Amino acid sequence: MGVLNVTPDSFSDGGCFLDAEAAVAHGRELIAAGADILDVGGESTRPGAEPVGAAEEIARVEPVVAALASAGAQISIDTSKADVAAVALDAGASLVNDVTAFRGDPEMPALVADRGVECCLMHMLGEPRTMQREPRYDDVVAEVKAFLSARLEFALSQGIAEQRILLDPGIGFGKTATHNLELLRRLEELVDLGRPLVVGTSRKTFLGRIAAAAATGGEIDEVVPLPPGERLAGTIATNVLALERGASVFRVHDVAPLRDALAVAAATLGGRWSQSPETRTPTS
C-alpha cells in the first residue's frame, strides 16, 4: 500500500504532493514501483494535526483519485468522513481506510455496506491532536485486540461482509515507542482475529528514536530522532518482522525497497511474495 498524502502538513512529505498533478505523477511512480494499493489522503493524521473540512478534503483528493482510478492499482481513500469517502468512491476508489474505525462519522458504516467496498478499521487512542499526550495501557496488545474485535463485530452488525474488512493496530497512533514495539513483537495475537492485518510503520518517529539511540547510546525516549528521510532501514526491519508475524498489507512511502525486502523475506520463509491485491499473503 503506497502512501499518497495530498496534504500540506503530513509529517513525512507534507506539501510535496498537494498539487494534484504532482500527486498523480507520484501515484503513478508508486504503482510502477510495485504498489498494489494507493492510499490517498487529504487530511493529515500526524500527532497534533488540525482537522480539515470535508469540502477542502474533497477538493484535494477527488481529482487525484479520478486520475489514478484506472492506473493499475486499487485506490484507497484515507478519510473518516462519509461525504469525502462517497465522492472518492464515485471517482473510482474501492477501499475506505478509516483511522477512527467508524467512530468519526455515523454515516460511514452504511456507506461502506451499501457500496460493497473494502474497509480498514484502525486503533487510535483519542484523536490526532491529543493521541500522543502520555498514552497509557495496562496491556497494549490486549487492549488493541479487544478494540479491533469490537469494531469488527460492529462493522459486521452494520451489514459489511467480513471478507471486506481489514484491521490495523495503529502503530504510532496514541502509542509510545515501547507500545509500538510490543505490538510488533506480539502481532500474532492480532492475527488471531482472522482478518488481514495492515501495518503502517513507515518513517514513524519511534524508528528515528531507536536508530538515534543506537548511534549515541542514549535513551530511546530522550534522544532527538533521525529525520523521516533517514528512517528507511527501520521501516524495512519492522515490515519484514511484521510479515514473519502474519501481517499481509504494508502501508509504506518507499514502495520499491519494501517490495524487494518483503520478497526476500517471503522466500526465506518458504513462500513467495504475491503482487495480487486479491491475494495479499505470501503463498507457498
Residues marked as catalytic: 204, 251
The owner of cell 503530513 is 10
Identify whether the C-beta of residue 99 lies closer than 8 Å to the C-beta of residue 124. Answer: yes
Dihedral angle sign, alpha carbons of residues 239, 240, 245, 248: positive
Q: How is residue 265 annotated by DSSP?
A: H
| Nearest C-alpha neighbor of 148 from the set 202, 113, 192, 114 | 192
Q: Which residues contact 12 (CB under 8 A, 6 or more apart)?
A: 3, 5, 202, 203, 228, 229, 253
C-alpha distances (whole Å) from 269 to each of 3, 196, 284 are 26, 18, 9
The owner of cell 477527488 is 62
Q: Which residues contact 145 (CB under 8 A, 6 or more apart)?
A: 189, 190, 192, 193
Length of the chain: 284
The owner of cell 477542502 is 56
CA torsion angle 152 124 69 7 (round to 10):
170
Q: How many other C-beta atoms lie within 10 A of the C-beta of residue 87?
A: 21
Per-residue b/e over 154-191, b at no fewer than 16 CB within 10 Å?
A: ebeeeebeeebbbbbbbbbbbbbbebbbbbbebbebbb
